Chains A and B, each alone.
Chain A
Amino acid sequence: MLKSIIWIFVGCLGAAAVGSIALNRGESINALWFVSAAVCVYAIAYRFYAAWVAAKVLALDASRATPAERLDNGRDFVPTNRWIVFGHHFAAIAGPGPLVGPTLAAQFGYLPGTLWILIGAVLGGCVQDMVTLFLSTRRDARSLGQMAREELGALGGSAALIGTFAIMIILIAVLGLVVVNAMKHSPWATSTVAATIPIAMLVGVYMRSFRPGQVLEASVLGVCLLLVSVFAGGWVDHSETLRGLFDHEGLPLAFGVIVYGFAAAVLPVWLLLAPRDYLSTFVKLGTIFLLAIAIVILRPEVKMPALTPFIDGTGPIFGGKLFPFVFITIACGAISGFHSLIASGTTPKLLTNERDIHMIGYGGMLLESFVAIMAMVAATVLEPGVYFAINSPPGTVGLDAPAAVAKISSWGFPVSVEQMQSLAAQMGEATLFARTGGAPSLAVGMASIFGSAFGDGLLALWYHFAIMFEAIFILTTLDAGTRVGRFMLQDMLGNVWRKLGQTSWMPSVILSSALVVAGWGYFLYIGVIDPNGGVNILWPLFGIANQMLAAIALSVASGILIKSGKLRYAWVTGLPLVWLVTITSTAAWQKITSADIRIGFYAAAEDLSGKLASGFLAPEKAEIAPQLIFNLHLDAWLTLLFVGLLWLIVLDMLRVSYRHLAGKSVPPICEVPHAPSRLVES
């Protein structure tokens, strides 16, 4: 009785919060409404929808032994307490994606992004994670690619492999671009980010040789050193001689990131990758927790309107209408295909009991979605004029400050040069104009939230702390992604020449690492020289790729549901799948065919060729134009590849499902037979 009263109350509060977010048309709205709406929606979805999916659709069986129990080897297969699995799983799925996407999507106003994060997570992302985790747990922790191959056919397996590799390349490029844009002409940010490299190495040596295996001790030491590096960056910024060392244009910084990425892929993991991963996990979880507390203490006002005029597709940060581009821009936080790689393979090896899948698969993604909501809050507490001044590339608002300010103010978002200068001075930066990529504006938002909640005088420190926080786990993703890309490439090259497939053979390591780094390095380079900022091209491409991987996971899941005679429940994964296919296909169609040069790749390429031929371009622009034109064509082909793969696997799933329903032969269900668990407490 009491329980149902509480749930009715949660329901009413949630409805009121969502209602006030959706219907508010006043000057501003308190961020606490966002937090309440999110928490209530999540609680209800978790308690009712997820529980229903777990019980009816998946039929989780607490008495069934999990792979961790059956294959326990004390190493990777280990039955583990569910709170610990939750910690591992969340640390693995939460990356920089849910911070960047909502920040960029805030150009449409706070409402579309917020609703998509809530609805997309509850009905799409969480379901994908939970179902994939379940399927992999029932199949001895097989990976998504293996499951696709076994349950659908060879085609599905290859599509998953190519898709994963392509996402890795695009993801690393765009994240590299975000870091470069955060460091551009900022000695403080650059020196702090640079300092994280020797700090990680020091921690690596400490854990390896000085005090082997003392992980917590080493991590605490590392985190303290990171905080010192944020302070030290301030001294560097104030010292005339040191400043020059760390004050760079985008291009040299991009080459620095490329060289770093190659080094990180070739160096032994214990030296750089493993310690950096420990540090970034601690900093990440700590900062997210701190941000949640700060938002609750401070209850900042959201100043961005619910909807901006840019829903018509004219937005300065990236081109394209609300539909489908808000759904492409926010991938992580609503639904992220990448999670299916963690949910299959890694996490199932730790599950003690099948019923934990509800909490870990569904709950883990809910928490990530909450991070995206906080990023949305941090982006929208800024004055809209300031937000647009930071995030608009020079290609759309002009190079000099007065022009940019006039343009942004003419959209109805007043901002002045003095305001931007004093904000930059407060944050310890030379300028905040055209700092695209989302990291600087998120850092300004976070600094103002932290500053107001925990003391105002330290804005510059908070700002650079936030930059360090974003950079450290972007670089972790960059290291880990390059390494995974290298393994995948070596695996593929191994088919051509066996020796290339040996992961420890140095020439092959260097060759494959160089190829992977060259792949993302190319897109990073183009992104830096592109006067429109690069993010506007790369981020949608990443979104399309990530949603494509999610669609592959949902296709595998739908196919298996239908094959196991659960056709009437297939909508649970089928509905999000239909939605993803719709948005990715629409977005891809527009990116390829649109006549608007800010959306269509071919339109932009033609426009640029025309200008180049008529001698309309300034010499320095004419020099890079051929590269940009080539890149636009390449992007169009890539988009086509992603959508082609997506349709192939969806049609393959439909073929298998049709054959099953028509009583013809299909690949058998590969579920491991039921074995009773001995770990269940009676």
Chain B
Amino acid sequence: MPGRLNFLWQWLRRVSGDDAYERYIEYHARCHTNDASLPDCSPLSKAEFFKQRQEEKWNGVKRCC
């Protein structure tokens, strides 16, 4: 049962975008390790990240009738 609840909680966090920043950091760590040659490759701050995310999200049809 705790496993189920945990799954539900993770699901809720994921669906709502609550854990988006954690996933971004994880993705960043995974995909930018070899990018030392590139300038300015540090991850965005949480506030910056959300700012960008929201602007992007609403540039298209996102809600239906």
Contact = CB atoms under 8 A, between A and B. Distances in A.
B47 to A, nearest CB: 4
Contacts of B46: 212-213
B50 A213 contact: yes
A273 B50 contact: no
Contacts of B53: 75
A95 B65 CA distance: 4
A207 B54 CA distance: 11
A74 to B, nearest CB: 4
B14 A481 contact: no
Nearest to A215: B18
A338 B65 contact: yes
B56 interface: yes
Contact of B65 (A75, A80, A84, A332): A332
Contact of A484 (B50, B57, B60): B60
Interface in B38-65: 46-47, 49-51, 53-65
Contact of B18 (A175, A214, A484): A214
Nearest to A336: B65
A324 B51 CA distance: 47
A477 B61 CA distance: 10
Given A76-B56, A480-B58, A278 B65 contact: no
B54 A269 contact: yes
A94 interface: yes
Given A332-B65, A346-B62, A487-B59, A74 B24 contact: yes
Contacts of B58: 269, 273-274, 480, 483
Name the residue in B15, B57, B63 with the highest tally of chain A Cβ atoms < 10 Å from its Cβ: B63
A175 B12 CA distance: 29
A481 B62 CA distance: 9
Interface string A327-358: 00001100010110110011000000000000
Contacts of B63: 92, 95, 277, 476-477, 480-481
B14 to A, nearest CB: 5
Given A216-B13, A480-B58, A171 B65 contact: yes
Contact of B49 (A76, A213, A269, A345): A213
Contact of A477 (B18, B27, B51, B65): B65
A208 B16 contact: no
B27 A341 contact: no
Contacts of B47: 208-209, 212-213
A338 B64 contact: yes
Contacts of A503: 59
A81 B18 contact: no
Interface string A459-491: 000000000000000001100110110010000
B60 A487 contact: yes
A191 interface: no
Contacts of B51: 208, 270
Interface residues of A, number: 55
Contacts of A84: 11, 14-15
Contacts, number: 108
B9 to A, nearest CB: 10
Given A213-B20, A278-B16, A341 B50 contact: no
Contacts of A171: 65
A269 B58 CA distance: 7
B36 interface: no
Contacts of B20: 213, 215
A92 B65 contact: no
A81 B12 CA distance: 12
Contacts of A216: 12-13, 16, 18
Contact of B17 (A96, A215, A476): A215
A269 B61 contact: no
A546 B15 contact: no
A87 interface: yes
Given A74-B28, A213-B47, A269 B55 contact: yes
A88 interface: yes
A483 B21 CA distance: 26
A92 B64 contact: yes
A546 B65 CA distance: 9
Contacts of B16: 215-216, 219, 278, 281
Nearest to A285: B15
B5 interface: no
B19 to A, nearest CB: 9
B1 interface: no
A93 interface: yes
B48 to A, nearest CB: 9
Given A97-B65, A215-B17, A346 B60 contact: yes
A484 B61 contact: yes
Contacts of A281: 16
A411 interface: no
B26 to A, nearest CB: 9
A480 B56 contact: no
A289 interface: no
A83 interface: yes
Name the residue in B24, B27, B62 with the highest tally of chain A Cβ atoms < 10 Å from its Cβ: B62
B49 A83 contact: no
Contacts of B62: 92, 277, 342, 346, 480, 484
Contact of A81 (B14, B27, B54, B65): B14
Contact of B54 (A80, A87, A97, A274): A274
Nearest to A332: B65
14 contacts: A74-B27, A74-B31, A76-B56, A92-B62, A96-B65, A97-B65, A208-B47, A212-B47, A215-B16, A274-B54, A278-B16, A331-B65, A346-B61, A484-B62
| A-B pairs, 5 with minimum CB distance | A74-B27, A97-B65, A212-B47, A87-B15, A480-B63
Given A80-B14, A92-B62, 8 more contacts: A88-B15, A213-B18, A213-B21, A213-B46, A219-B16, A269-B58, A274-B58, A345-B61
